Structures are given as structure tokens and as C-alpha cells.
Amino acid sequence: MEVIIKPSAESAVKLTAELIGDAVRMRPESVLGLATGRTMESLYAELSRMCREEKLDFSLTRTFNLDEYIGLSGDNINSYRYYMNYHLFNNINIDKRNTHLPDGMADDVIAEAARYEDEIEFAGGIDIQLLGIGSDGHIGFNEPLSSLSSRTRAKSLTPETYEQNSPLFDNPDEMPKRAFTMGVGTILDARRIIMLVTGAGKADILSKAVEGPLTAMITGSAIQLHPNAVVVCDEAAATKLVGRKYYDFVFQNEPEWEPYR
């Protein structure tokens, strides 16, 4: 795993967008695993700008989102399908038929989860999986105690996640208590992982996930198992990282990062 600490949230977002943009330029039919949440809003704004102003071409790109609320249809303003259309898909030249999220309205949740896994496999697997991290350490909606080898399934959310996300609903009581989420095992199958973490509120959980023990209590710690994972964060989120001197040294010296310094 590598950790790149940028001076501001804006520069962390910009680097993450450049990494994704370069991957799409190199392989236009890339399969991107996408996340939602507040952290990603400025990233999607930047990718939208790159498409508009720099002609970054998403016409062949395919996407799979990490999660979707159970009980919300795609036209519900709080669904992740709505979020993705609003923040990204409507603003870039992607073919919406190539964009995938679990169907929050599926009658049979077990069949829907299996269908989603099959679709990812049929697409050849995920090239780059974008992740945020929740205040309880979740990735996707893999809440504490999720198996580190779990696959896509329906999951009950924690009270902490409820507290984190319900203010985004006009009526917080309408936030579903369950969601579909790719499993930790599904996420770890991606060929590359990029985790974007910004803001002082994430400093504690970020240090636990990156430098603490591997534990199902903090599913974000599972990225320690991945052979090609990079965490991009801002100064505010990095304040509790004890190894930051080394992380900066790697970023300054590894040839891979030269184009991004």
C-alpha cells in the first residue's frame, strides 16, 4: 500500500482524478468501481470538467458502484443511482447502459446480489476500485464484522452510518436501514484500489485502517491485503499517521509517481 498526502482536499481530489483520467486514457474500456458520498462529489466535478474541457473520453468506460440503498428506486433523489447520474454520468460522455448499480427495488435481494457479482465477472472484473471510508471504518457498506471475504449482499447499516448519512435525506427518517454492498472480497478482487480520504473528521479512522491491525471491525483495514492499493489523503486527514515521513519519501522518490509530483 502507498499513502500520498496532499496539502489540501482540492489537491488530493485533483491527483485522484488524474490517476483515474490516465487509466481511462490508457484503456478507454476500463471498468471503474465507483463510490458515492460527500468526499466523491468534488472528484466527480473534476472528472466532469476533464471530460468537458480536456476531452477525457468515457464513451467506452464501464462502471460498477459499490452500493445502493434497499427500497429506493433510481429516480429517488437519495438513491445512489440518482447521485451518480447527477454528479457524474449526466455530465460525461458515458453510455448509461455501461453504468451499473445494484437495483434497490429488487424483490429478491439474494438473487440481485448474485446477479451483480455475475455482471462484474462478465465485464472482466474491476480495473480500478475507488473507495472512501466511513466514520465507522466501512468501505462500501461493509459495516463492522463484515467478513473480509464477503461478496455482494444485503447488509444492515450501523447507527453510526445512519448518523453520518441521514442528514442527506430531506426527511432523515426516510433513510433505509439496509443496503446492497459489494463485499470486502469483491472489492479486493479489483486490480487496483484508490482510496480518497479528506478532512479532519477522518483522521482517526484513517490511521486505524492504514496503520492499525487488520480487523473486520474496520473493514477499511482490508486494503492492507491488496497488492496494488494507494490512499490519497489531505493534510487534515493525515494528522494521525505515524509513518508519514516514509510515505512522503516514497512519493518523492518512486519513479511511478514522477508524473504526479
- By CB under 6 A, the count of residues binding ligand F6R is 13
Q: Per rule CB under 6 A, is residue 208 in the interface with ligand F6R?
A: no
Question: Which CB sits closer to ligand F6R, 60 or 78?
Answer: 78
Rounded-to-integer distance, Cα 236 and Cα 202, Å:
8
Binding residue (CB under 6 A) for ligand F6R from 92, 139, 209, 238 = 139
Residue 260's identity, in one-letter code, is Y
Binding residue (CB under 6 A) for ligand F6R from 33, 37, 137, 183 = 37
Q: Per rule CB under 6 A, is residue 102 in the interface with ligand F6R?
A: no
* Side-chain half-sphere exposure of 229, counting CA atoms within 13 A: 21
What are the residues facing 3 on neighbouring strands? 231
Let me know: does 236 contact 39? Beta carbons within 8 Å: no
138 catalytically annotated: yes
**Which listed residue (138, 189, 226, 234) is catalytic?**
138
Question: Which CB sits closer to ligand F6R, 51 or 133?
Answer: 133
Let me know: does 157 contact 92? Beta carbons within 8 Å: no
Q: Per rule CB under 6 A, is residue 104 in the interface with ligand F6R?
A: no
Q: Per rule CB under 6 A, is residue 67 in the interface with ligand F6R?
A: yes
**Residue whose Cβ sits closest to ligand F6R:** 132
Q: How many CB atoms lie within 10 A of CB 191?
A: 17
Rounded-to-integer distance, Cα 67 and Cα 81, Å:
9
Instruction: Return residues touching ligand F6R (CB under 6 A).
Output: 35-39, 66-67, 132-134, 138-140
